[in-house]
Amino acid sequence: MAEIVMPQLGETVTEGTITKWFKQIGDVVVEDEILYEVSTDKVDSEVPATASGILTEIRVPEGVTVEVGTILAVVGAAGGPAAPAAAPVAAATAAPPPAPVAPVAPAQPMAVSAQDDEADLGTGDGRLLSPIVRRLAREHGVDLDTVEGTGVGGRLTRGDVQRAIDKGTPAEAAAPVAAAPAAPVAPAPAAAPPAAVARAAAPPVPATPVAPAAAAGPARSPAAPAGALPRGGQRVPLNRIRKLTGDHMVMSKATSAHTLTVMEADFEGVDRVRRARRDQWKAAEGFSLTYLPFIARAASDAIAEYPFMNASVGDGELIVHGEVNLGIAVDLSFEGLVAPVVRQADGKRLRAIAREIHDLAGRARSRQLRPDDVTGGTFTLTNPGQYGTMMQFPIINQPQVAILSTDGVRRKPWVVTDAHGAESIAIRPIGLLALAWDHRAFDGAYAAAFLDRLRDIIETRDWSAEVM
């Protein structure tokens, strides 16, 4: 007998919603074939079975949200008896079968079950909705029948609803608050955020006063009440992904002794190869050759010489990992970040790394990542340089001990030395490598030595051999 449990679909993800079962009780299940679909705030994923046999129990029906680690189903040995007369999977209001784990822990107010949302299991055209989608739509007054679904079979995802909200559907969702010329500014009633666990029948909750940032908008009149918004201001509720990301980042800052070390690197050798191979690469691979695969390749080799970079802090010990699994931070249309993992990057050349980064980033943005894609990272790269950043101080992705930010590469005057030691000024593509690291794991000399080796690899390697 094998238990199928809710997987960890990202470092900050704590729960997921079962949106579809592809097998029913009594069906034959083959390991690695798609068994169910799960929706989280970061990933909509079709999850493969972890064992072969007969599906004897389904403990969590479609439309129910449960925590990571919850037993979802049981797969018995082939030829073994199936569970007798199990309750229908879609019967969201039926009493749950006896099980050691309840579908939703009552102490978690954000874990909403199908029963919490009454009988609102779909739209007018019969599309299945997860509790996450229903809750977000209800909080912002979105008419789901007017929203086009981009999920499997046209299913509405959280991203679909969020885009409808961002487009101004409806007007009352975080509408700007107008100020009367001679009266204090007061928030519009519809802008008051709902309580985290309030239902439709609950009385309205007054808006929590929000103090505007000192540098944001015009100064408020001293006579204005404390809960007033500045002229033209608005209240925008934090969505769940922002809350989860915030919790994880605050936890990381409280856990690790964050320190920053930065070095400049000359990308002339990388740029020369990119310019020479640009068209050939694009024709062969179907995507552009950016700086990121070069840095990922160089970082993997540098980590091999400085293995403490590829570690996590345990109970009085440093756990050094045996292979380099590179997390690559991917932006999800400004709604949040996810860091899918290039596994065993230390054993791959540039072309293989570039292909994996492109594949993972594409599947992350289309919410098609699988559980194994977002777990097990040992070192993370984040790449805001596409926006021309000079430098940023990234926050470590726990439980790792370091994260590297690759910022914008700009052409600038640079001192170069020829083979005879003579110096001259040249215009070179120069970028910053910003390493945030955990001072519990090592000291500044070790971090600086790692960055120096990383810079040396970037500047001196014969990259043309890597893109042949």
Say how far apart CA 49 and CA 78 lie, in whole Å: 14
- 346, 439, 456, 462: the catalytic one is 439
Active site residue 140: no
120 has a pLDDT exceeding 70? no
**What is the pLDDT at residue 202?**
38
Pairwise pLDDT comparison (52 vs 198), residue with the higher score: 52
pLDDT of 101 higher than 60: no
Beta carbons within 10 angstroms of residue 153's beta carbon: 10
**Mean pLDDT, residues 243-269:** 91
CATH top-level class for 256-466?
alpha beta
Whether pLDDT at 105 is above 90? no
What confidence tens digit (pLDDT) does each residue in 23-43 have?
A: 999 999 998 888 998 887 666
Residue 21: predicted pLDDT: 94
Average pLDDT over residues 340-350: 95
What is d(CA 30, CA 54) in angstroms, rounded to the nearest whole number? 9
* pLDDT, average across residues 372-400: 90
In angstroms, rounded to a whole number, what is the distance separating the alpha carbons of residues 70 and 3? 10
Q: What is the mean pLDDT of residues 61-83?
A: 82
Of 140-144, 244-248, 262-266, which one has max mean pLDDT?
Answer: 262-266
Cβ neighbours around 143 below 10 Å, total: 12
Across 14-18, 81-85, 149-153, least confident range: 81-85
Q: What is the pLDDT of residue 225?
A: 54
Lowest mean pLDDT across 125-129, 356-360, 379-383, 403-407? 125-129
Give the model's confidence band at 127: pLDDT under 50 very low, under 70 low, under 90 confident, else very high.
low
> pLDDT tens, 301-339?
999 999 999 999 988 899 999 999 999 999 888 877 889
As a whole number, mean pLDDT of residues 75-85 equals 63
Q: CA-CA distance, 251 to 243, in Å (whole number)?
A: 12
Q: Which residues contact 177 (CB under 8 A, 6 or more apart)?
A: 185, 186, 187, 188, 191, 229, 232, 233, 234
In the chain, the N- to C-terminal Cα span, in Å, equals 49
C-alpha atoms less than 13 angstroms from C-alpha of 253 in its C-beta half-sphere: 8
For position 111, what pLDDT does the model report?
34
User: For the ranges 69-78, 256-265, 339-348, which has the lowest average pLDDT?
Assistant: 69-78
Please state the rounded mean pLDDT for residues 228-236.
Answer: 83
DSSP secondary structure letters along 26-79: T-EE-TTSEEEEEE-SS-EEEEEPSS-EEEEEE-S-TT-EEETT-EEEEEE-TT
pTM: 0.60
pLDDT of residue 402: 97
pLDDT average, residue stretch 166-175: 49
Domain ranges of the chain: 256-466
Q: Is 443 a catalytic residue?
A: yes
* pLDDT tens per residue across span 179-218: 444 444 444 444 344 333 333 333 443 443 444 444 444 4
Q: Does the pLDDT at position 433 exceed 70?
A: yes
Q: Give the span between the Cα atoms of 380 and 173, in whole angstroms.
A: 36
Q: How far apart are CA 239 and CA 131, in angstroms?
A: 14
The pLDDT score that the predictor gives to residue 254 is 93
Q: What torsion do the CA atoms of 339, 342, 343, 348 make, to the nearest 10 degrees?
A: -160
- pLDDT averaged over the chain? 78
**For residues 177 and 189, what is the distance between their CA atoms, to the nearest angstrom?**
10
pLDDT of residue 213: 40
Q: One of 27, 32, 247, 443 is an active-site residue; which one?
A: 443
